[in-house]
Amino acid sequence: MKRFFLSITLMAMLLLLVSHALPQAHPPATRAEMRVARMQQATRNVDETSEYRLGRAVAARILTSYQLAQDPKLQLYLNEVGQTVARKSSRPDTFRGYHFAVLESLEPNAFACPGGIILITRGMLKLCGNEDEVAAALAHEVAHVAHRDGVNSVVSSRWAAVVADRRIAAAKERGGRAAEMAALYEDSINDVFKTMVTNGYSRTAEWAADQEALRSLSRAGYNPQALASLLTKMLAQENRGVGIYRTHPPTALRLARVNAQIKDLKPEKIPEARERRFKEQKI
C-alpha cells in the first residue's frame, strides 16, 4: 500500500512538472485515471503465457480449499454455456482458452482466474432458475478475465517477477537465486488469490464486468435481463460476509445499475430447447 501511495505521489509530481513545462497541457489526471493508467501499463508487460501460468497456479490454490464437482454431464453443459458467452466477449481467445468447472460448495460464489479458468460453486448454480441466468453468472466472470482484473491485482512492484517467469523456471534448474525468484512469483499468486477470494476487485471493475456481461449475453442470444433476475435472487439471500457477497459491491447497487441499462428491453421468452437442457441438469 505504501508503495502504491509512493507511486501515486511520484506520478503526481511528474504531472506537476509536465504541466509547468507545458502550460497548454491537459488538466492533471484524477487519482482514479492515474490508477487505471498504471494498471494498463503493468498489464501490457505480462504476456499471455505468463498470465495463463499465473491463473493455473491461482486455480490450484483455490482447489486446496474447494472440491471439484465430479459430474461430467454438468461439467460439459457448463462449458457449452460458458464458451457461448466467452466467444461473444471482448476477449474471445486466450492462450489456452476458457475452461469452466463446478466447485462443491453451497456458498454462492465464482472465481475468474487469469487466462480463463472459471470456477463456479454449486451454490451459485442453485440460485440460477434457467440457462440464461447460468450464462449471466458466467458472462460476468468471463468479463473479469477479458479485462484482466486478476492480473491487475498483482502488486505492481512484483511485475518484473511475473514477466520473468521463464527465467524463474530456468533458474530453478540451476539453483542459486531460484528460491528467491520463485518466492517472488509465489507472492504474485498470493496477490491474485487474496483479491479474488478475500478482498475483491474495485467497484469500477465490477461495474465494468456487469456491463460487459450484458453485452456478451445479448450477442450470444441470451436474454440480458437474466443478469437482473439473477441479481434479484442474490439480493434476497445476500449475506455480506459470505461467498460472492464478501468480494462484490452490495447486490442492490449492482442491480440498480444493471436495471438502468436494460430498462428499454422487452421481456423475452426462453426457447423450449434451452429450458429442457437446463432442467436435465442435476444442480
Binding site for Zn ion (CB under 5 A): 206, 209
Q: Which C-beta is closer to Zn ion: that of 59 or that of 181?
A: 59
Q: Least distance (Å) from Zn ion to the CB of residue 210?
A: 8
Q: Least distance (Å) from Zn ion to the CB of residue 16?
A: 35
Q: Which C-beta is closer to Zn ion: that of 162 or that of 209?
A: 209
Q: Least distance (Å) from Zn ion to the CB of residue 248?
A: 5
Measured CA to CA, the distance from residue 98 to residue 100 in angstroms comes to 7
Measured CA to CA, the distance from residue 236 to residue 239 in angstroms comes to 9
Q: Least distance (Å) from Zn ion to the CB of residue 195?
A: 11
Q: Which C-beta is closer to Zn ion: that of 65 or that of 204?
A: 204
Q: Encode 194-220: b = buried (16+ Cβ within 10 Å), e = exposed.
A: ebbbeebbbeebbebbbbbbbbbbbeb
Q: Which C-beta is closer to Zn ion: that of 185 or that of 243?
A: 243
